[in-house]
Amino acid sequence: MRIDAALGALRAAADPAVAPEMAAYHKAKRVYLGTPNPAINDLTRDWRAALSLEERVALADGLWQSDIHEARIAAAKLLTQARIRPDAAVWALIAGWVPQFDGWAVADQACSAGARRVMADLSRMDRVEEWTVSPDLWVRRAALVMTLPLAKLSFPKPAEREARERVLGWAAGYVPDRDWFIQKAVAWWLRDLSKHDPDRVRAFLDAHGAGMKGFARKEATRLL
């Protein structure tokens, strides 16, 4: 599928009247079409079914490069799939998007796609760890959001448990960071982990909870 055809489909499903509201809400400076998420879901589902993996990667790359909000959402949705083989090109593309994150909505959708690739190959944690020392808050945040599936495992394998502890180490390093989005990401990780390993969350909070912002501590303990 050509990129112009894909963008045309996104525009055809848009309501331009809501585009200014979306721009004001998301705040990132780019074009907004006003295409609702259900329409993007329908389009990307059809594209996934019709295109080869190579074609999907190429289309996702083009959609992302357009720098249109809905196109970037669609690019990530195109690649959000648990089983992709081979997936090296998919991971490379998604990881290359991370330094361009500038808001939560696009970042979270891309992280959802990236999380599948990390869980498929935990050696990719090395690349993710590089993001934890970035001066950019969205890049630092991505390290926690993209590894969130590790917090949701009820019966982690040894390698998954080791990876989980690695992320908790990153989270501990984030505690002094006063940015709301970073504190929220730490709390989000702990909250989800508390459903599966509450004792580990309690131990984390005993060691680091005093340094967290109040709202983050409250969120982290909400399900304990």
Query: What's the whole-number mean pLDDT along residues 30-58?
Result: 97
Q: What is the pLDDT of residue 1?
A: 81
Taking only Cα atoms into account, the Rg of the chain, rounded to an integer number of angstroms, comes to: 18
The per-residue pLDDT of the chain, averaged, comes to 97
Q: Quick: pLDDT tens for 185-219.
A: 999 999 999 999 999 999 999 999 999 999 999 99
Q: What is the pLDDT of residue 216?
A: 98
Q: Quick: pLDDT tens for 99-136.
A: 999 999 999 999 999 999 999 999 999 999 999 999 99
Written as six digits, the tokens of 84 are 């992709």
Q: What is the pLDDT of residue 134?
A: 98
Task: Name every residue whose Cβ is closer than 8 Å to that of residue 109 and which is 6 or more positions away in sequence.
Answer: 72, 73, 76, 77, 80
Long-range contacts of 11-18, Cβ-Cβ distance < 8 Å, separation of 24 or more: 11/35, 13/39, 13/40, 13/43, 14/39, 14/70
Q: Name the burial class of residue 133, with classes exposed (0-12), middle (13-18) and buried (19+) by CB atoms within 10 angstroms of its CB.
A: exposed
pLDDT at 141 over 90: yes
Q: Please list, residue by residue across 37-47, b when 16 or more beta carbons sit within 10 angstroms of its beta carbon and e when fewer do.
A: eebbeebbeeb
Written as six digits, the tokens of 17 are 């009247």
Query: What's the whole-number mean pLDDT along residues 59-75?
Result: 98
Written as six digits, the tokens of 187 are 């709390």
Q: Quick: pLDDT tens for 34-44.
A: 999 999 999 99
- What three-state secondary structure class fits 31? strand
Q: What is the pLDDT of residue 200?
A: 98
How many Cβ atoms sit within 10 Å of the Cβ of residue 143?
24
Written as six digits, the tokens of 208 are 């680091």
